[in-house]
Amino acid sequence: MCSITLSLTDRRMIGKIPSLLSLPFSHSSHAVLISTHRHLMGRSGLLFAAILLVSAIGSHAAVPDPWKLGPIAPSELSARLAAVDRESSPLPLSLRPATEFQKILVRIAAATPSAEWRSDVEKFAKATGEDSVSKALRELALCWEARVRMQEIDKALRQFYRQSVRFPDRLDEVKDAIPANAKTDPWGEAWVYKTAAPQGFSNLAKQRYQLGPTRYPQLSTIQEFIRSTPPVRNWKISARDVGGAKALEVRTSDGKAAVVQAGGKVADATLAYIGDGWALFADTDRLFAIAF
């Protein structure tokens, strides 16, 4: 193990570093910092150069704020929507659709009724763009359309429950009560449905049910999303080059690794955009960004 003994002068020099790191960052800012503040270069010059370089490079991977999302009180909705607009202003125009979708997610997180945002989701679900951002948003929109349809089916199932004190064995038993556009999932496939018992009460059969689209049978409900906080994604990401195009090597928390380009899939998420030191993903619930 290597150890370094710092003199009083060294410690005073280190105390100046925070003010240097407040300078605006650019790709060459670490070099500018070192050359501009040569008074730090003395007996401990190598030490300080290393500290400045590592600290400056670390600040390079700041993740844009618009993608942060958690439970929102209805009274906070207007302020949060304004924050998305404000914090997304430096982003490239190609991400404008993503920030618009983020505002839909903010409204959903604030428990806004689905009737007020469903038509906006449908526009993204029907979009025909083939760029990576459009494809990621289309899949995310279809997941939210699925949740709205699941909500409509839930009404039919609960009406059956009130009459029979159990949920039906098959959706066919309530098909007449399900709206026409909800009889299949948004991908045109059959719903995955089965009855269940409350956890710990296996003798109480058919008192719960599980419902989801074929593609994502464990898809959360709207209410589950509203109550949830974003999962922590302990992914390690490194920039790569594939045939002259940007790509990322992503190692997920379970140890699996993959090299993907924008539009590719990682676990349950689509890589929508590769930025300068950060990447934007869309899973079945939300948009999220990770620094690298």
The whole-angstrom separation of Cα 146 and Cα 216 is 10
Q: How far is CA 14 from the centre of its chain?
A: 37
What ranges do the domains of the chain cover?
8-59, 67-227, 231-291
Residue 62: the pLDDT is 63
Residue 3: the pLDDT is 44
Residue 58: the pLDDT is 45
Residue 186, burial from CB neighbour count under 10 angstroms (0-12, 13-18, 19+): buried
List per-residue pLDDT tens for the chain, 292 residues long: 444 444 444 444 444 444 444 343 343 344 444 444 444 445 444 444 444 444 444 444 566 679 989 899 999 999 999 999 999 999 999 999 999 999 999 999 999 999 999 999 999 999 999 999 999 999 999 999 999 999 999 999 999 999 999 999 999 999 999 999 999 999 999 999 999 988 888 788 899 999 999 999 999 999 999 999 888 899 999 999 999 999 999 999 999 999 999 999 998 899 999 999 999 999 999 999 999 9
Residue 190 · residue 208 · CB < 8 Å: no
pLDDT digits 0-9 by tens, 190-217: 999 999 988 888 788 899 999 999 999 9
Residue 158: the pLDDT is 97
How big is the CA angle at 39 (ends 37 and 43), to the nearest 5 degrees? 125
Residue 64: the pLDDT is 65
Residue 178 · residue 207 · CB < 8 Å: no
Residue 236 · residue 254 · CB < 8 Å: no
Residue 218 · residue 144 · CB < 8 Å: no
What's this model's pTM, rounded to 2 decimal places? 0.78
Residue 235 · residue 260 · CB < 8 Å: no
